[in-house]
Structure 1
Amino acid sequence: MAEKPKGVKYSIRPFAAGGCAACFSTCCIFPFDMVKTRILLSTKSSNVPSTFTTVVKYIYKREGPLGFYHGLSAAFMREAVYGTARLGIFDTLSATLKKKQHVDAIPLWEKALCGMTAGALGGIMGNPFDISLVRMQADGVAPPELKRGYHNAFQAVWKIASEEGILCLWRGAVPVVWRAIGMNTGLLASYDQGKEFLEKRFPDHHYLCSFGASGISGFICSFTALPFDLVKVRIMNMHPDPVTGELPYKGFLDCIKKIYVNEGFLRFWKGYWAFYSRSAPHGMITLMTKEFFTAGYNKLFNCC
């Protein structure tokens, strides 16, 4: 007898739970995201602070405690789009493969493929709010004549589209997609794999297994995603030269080349611990609260 198709509420569940978890997590760790972005914006030729402690002191002294939350509206909207999409798509693809193969767990390479697909699609969808976020976070270290002065995410999207063209909302989409692929492959695939590994050995400690798996996945995804995050931030925050009108980078590969030539290979991982302090807690909170929101959704809508 064929299995009865499940309703819309079951299809929506991974997106609703994932989106709520991603937004909640972003609100918790946003100050670390601000510090991470400021570090990535620093170059040898700039006077921008480039270490975790100096950036924290700079923001607190120049912008006050609320300076750590400048751009929160854009971060929230990015996660409402990107986080909802990537977590929902990943769970949906994984569940589809498990059902098709009649198994309880799919191999790591299939999880990685699901993570890549979910990350790429989510990254493209969330790019307009991503570029808004980077620019709002960068304003604090920009000279007065280069400050963009966006007040919130929606104004930022409107001004970018009206002043620079609607396609500018997808500037930096290539590194965003690669960052999302690196982030989701490192985070989601390794979390699922790690959780399965730990639960086989500690079946009575579900939440401890989730905590341990999320900590490991945060470490991995920070390494795989940071180089692309650096390129993304640099491209999204570009200003045209005041004399020639040319942008500093012609594209994704040109940005990689110039960073490598001018700042060295290890620059792609400079600020790793700042990135980890943002990504690991974000991943841990997101993945653990997603289970909480899923349980709440099941209870609210009577899903088994």
Structure 2
Amino acid sequence: MKFLFILQIITSSDKNMNISDFLIGGFAGMGAICFTNPLEVIKTRLQLQGELAARGTYAKPYKGIIHAFVTVIRHEGWQALEKGLVPALHFQFILNSIRLGIYKMCMNNKWIHNRNGDISFLRGMLWGAVGGVCGSFCASPFFMVKIQLQAQTKTCVAVGYQHKHNGMSNAFRNILKQSGFFGLWRGATGVLPIGSSTQIATFGKTKAILSDYNLVIQPTLNSFCAAFAAGTVVAVAITPPDVISTRLYNQGMDVDDKGVLYKGWLDCAYKTFSIEGIPGLYKGFWANYLRQAPHSTLMLLFFDLLITVRDKYQKRFKSD
């Protein structure tokens, strides 16, 4: 009832429709991460394992997804699977309130449609990229803190640089003290718009195709199928830049406040590829896929369902 009351306030006039679209996008992202954060932890560990080391030359404390789950639980307990959840919730709200809000605004204004009124995949990618860049940049500090907290573990199973944070607030204080305000955006260039653009474009186009050809016309099932397709596509597209982002955000800093391993995004991509090859850029792919597919499915499904509830409640509110 409280949620419906909020919808009543923010949809009391058509002028506020775009505001509620942005808020609903944020809530949808937060709802999805509550289910998929454990896979985020596993993905982060796998992406940092064997960093800048040739295959077969390093120890592997995590020998796969299932083994990684068992290892984390054995050494740190079940609660370790929710490491970084608080900054992840902040990250998801900021990221998705912006990019899904922009997507819905573009849909309402027909900016994603071509002259025939059909949804354009390329225009969807363009506006998905715009929303992804804006959302990712604004939410970047929380993504950094999330990665660093998820990487922290006991020495016997540690991978990557180990930061000494005692929670989100302490992490922000440590980063500000060492690198200043702009240090919170270190590595932000690694968050490319690839994932967002392919996700949004695939979701919109798949929904239209399933509906136009009468393949899946039931609204909730239509959204579910389209969201699953979007999650599958985005997992393939986003894994390399995601590996690079994880490593940039997690690397330690020297006394001159410069990265101990990488100078920037291109340097990280070059070193990873030259030393670890293509497999290095796809480390943690299956964990990323198992995370991305359900995360995208849940997030976009929640988004469509909340939009539907909002619209129905607004009509009822206006008729009363």
Q: Is the pair's TM-score, using the shorter chain for normalization, greater than 0.5? A: yes
After TM superposition, list the pairs within 5 Å mapping 1:1-304 onto structure 2. 7-43=14-50, 44=53, 45=58, 47-98=60-111, 104-140=117-153, 147-176=162-191, 178=192, 181-202=193-214, 204-240=217-253, 247-302=260-315
Supply the distance in 2 between the matched residues of 1:128 and 1:103 (Cα, whole angstroms): 41
Supply the distance in 2 between the matched residues of 1:85 and 1:158 (Cα, whole angstroms): 26
Residue by residue over 1:117-161, the C-alpha shift from the partner in whole angstroms, topping out at 9 and shown as x without a partner, is 0001111000000000000001125669x6434333333223211
Supply the distance in 2 between the matched residues of 1:81 and 1:173 (Cα, whole angstroms): 15
Supply the distance in 2 between the matched residues of 1:69 and 1:175 (Cα, whole angstroms): 24
Supply the distance in 2 between the matched residues of 1:204 and 1:46 (Cα, whole angstroms): 50
Aligned Cα root-mean-square deviation (Å): 2.6
Residue by residue over 1:164-198, the C-alpha shift from the partner in whole angstroms, topping out at 9 and shown as x without a partner, is 2111110111111x1xx111122110011011101
**Structure 2 residue identity aligned to 1:174:** T
Supply the distance in 2 between the matched residues of 1:36 and 1:173 (Cα, whole angstroms): 19
**Structure 2 residue identity aligned to 1:182:** I
Supply the distance in 2 between the matched residues of 1:168 and 1:116 (Cα, whole angstroms): 24
For the 8 Å contact 2:106–2:112, the answer to whether it is kept is no
Equivalent in the alignment of 2:6: none
Equivalent in the alignment of 1:3: none
Q: TM-score, normalization: structure 2?
A: 0.84
SS of 1:140 mapped into structure 2: coil
Q: TM-score, normalization: structure 1?
A: 0.88
**Structure 1 residue identity aligned to 2:28:** A
How many residues get paired?
Answer: 295
Supply the distance in 1 between the matched residues of 2:241 and 2:249 (Cα, whole angstroms): 12
For the 8 Å contact 1:74–1:152, the answer to whether it is kept is no
Supply the distance in 2 between the matched residues of 1:270 and 1:12 (Cα, whole angstroms): 38
Segments of 4+ moved more than 4 angstroms: 98-104, 141-144, 299-304
* Superposed displacement of residue 108, structure 1: 1.0
**Structure 1 residue identity aligned to 2:85:** L
**Structure 2 residue identity aligned to 1:200:** D
Which ranges in structure 2 are unaligned for 5 or more consecutive residues?
1-12
SS of 1:97 mapped into structure 2: coil
Structure 1 residues 127 and 99: CA distance shift in structure 2, 3 A: closer
SS of 1:249 mapped into structure 2: coil
Supply the distance in 1 between the matched residues of 2:190 and 2:84 (Cα, whole angstroms): 20
Residue by residue over 1:70-112, the C-alpha shift from the partner in whole angstroms, topping out at 9 and shown as x without a partner, is 1100100101111211111122133323499786543111111
